[in-house]
Amino acid sequence: MSDRQALLTADEDRNGYARDSMKPGFSSGFKRWYADNSREPIRDETLRDGLVRNGAVKTRPGVPTTSPKGRFALESAFAALFDPTSSGVELEEKIAVWQKSHSSPGALARVEIIRRGRVASKVKILVTLPSGEARIMEAGLSSVITKNVVEEFARRFLRQPAVIWISESGNKVVHRDDALAQRIGLAISPAKMLPDVILADVGAGELYLVFVEIVATSGEVTESRRQALLEIATEGGYDANHVRFVTAFMDRDSDVFRRSIPRLTWGSFAWFASEPDHLISLNGATMGAVNSLSDKMKK
């Protein structure tokens, strides 16, 4: 399959492609999506670990693994969702019924979180801080992720969370946040380094600062960014051992996260709004939900 082939939607073109693609040595002549030797990721990640596990695809009985014949086929209930006579509300209802009967509660929750994020990105975003204060942010995925960081991440991973700083795309420096940051010794210069979110855990005995970078397209915590953020804290008199760094994404299955992985610095964490109970530690270990960021992140 290729981009140009995918644009050929007439029945004659599609049926011809289906017939020809089963012939040995077939090539459409266009730049293909996958090379000949890329069958393992498709079979293992997409089919076996994804579609088969969720009941969308089945393994055809009687077809050996070494056979050149197709071993996988769509389950009839899933295939029915591609009925061209269904559309709009009717199709959405059919999809919802299939999801409910074939997906785990966790998978359904993840889909709903991502869906709500896409819907919410079209309107103003209301963010409720741990103090009860409400902020209205501009529409966009960055604001959606920020809302989840403040309302979900902070509650799950900090004993007694407080918001020190929130940067917005349309208003990079909020006056009241800047005033609070300065009062506690954090001199933030927009010209040098502008954090997205700064949280504090005031219930861990000693105050812990948590710098969170919001990634809708780019801006993850790289080593250079970590050093620049750490400098803000240490120049304010904070112990480096009481400073944490988190990169927040919408979903770990996104292309944005895949592109960011090689650049995420050691000694930091990754968190996903679609799976709020889990945290990835880049200290060589992956851990699930924890009670306190300050406990689990001590060096």
Does the pLDDT value for residue 286 go beyond 70? no
Q: What percent of the chain clears pLDDT 70, i.e. is strictly above it?
A: 84
How many angstroms separate the CA atoms of 190 and 252, rounded? Answer: 29
List CB contacts of 55: < 8 A, sequence separation 6 or more. Answer: 75, 77, 78, 102
For 249-279, write each residue's pLDDT tens digit: 999 888 899 999 999 999 999 999 999 999 9
Burial 65-76 (b: 16+ CB within 10 A, else e): eeeeeebbeebe
Burial class, 39, CB count within 10 angstroms (exposed 0-12 / middle 13-18 / buried 19+): exposed
Domains present along the chain, CATH in parentheses: 125-296 (3.40.1350.80)
pLDDT tops 60 at residue 159? yes
pLDDT band (50, 70, 90) for residue 30: confident
Instruction: Give every CB contact of residue 246 below 8 A, 6+ residues apart in sequence.
Output: 153, 210, 211, 212, 213, 221, 268, 269, 270, 271
Summary mean pLDDT of the chain: 83
Convert the pLDDT of each residue in 168-193 to its tens digit. 765 566 666 778 888 888 988 776 78
Question: For residue 236, how many other CB atoms are within 10 A of its CB?
Answer: 15
Mean pLDDT of the 114-132 span: 76
Residue type, 61: P
- HSE, CB side, 13 Å, CA atoms: give it for residue 274: 18
Read off the pTM.
Answer: 0.63
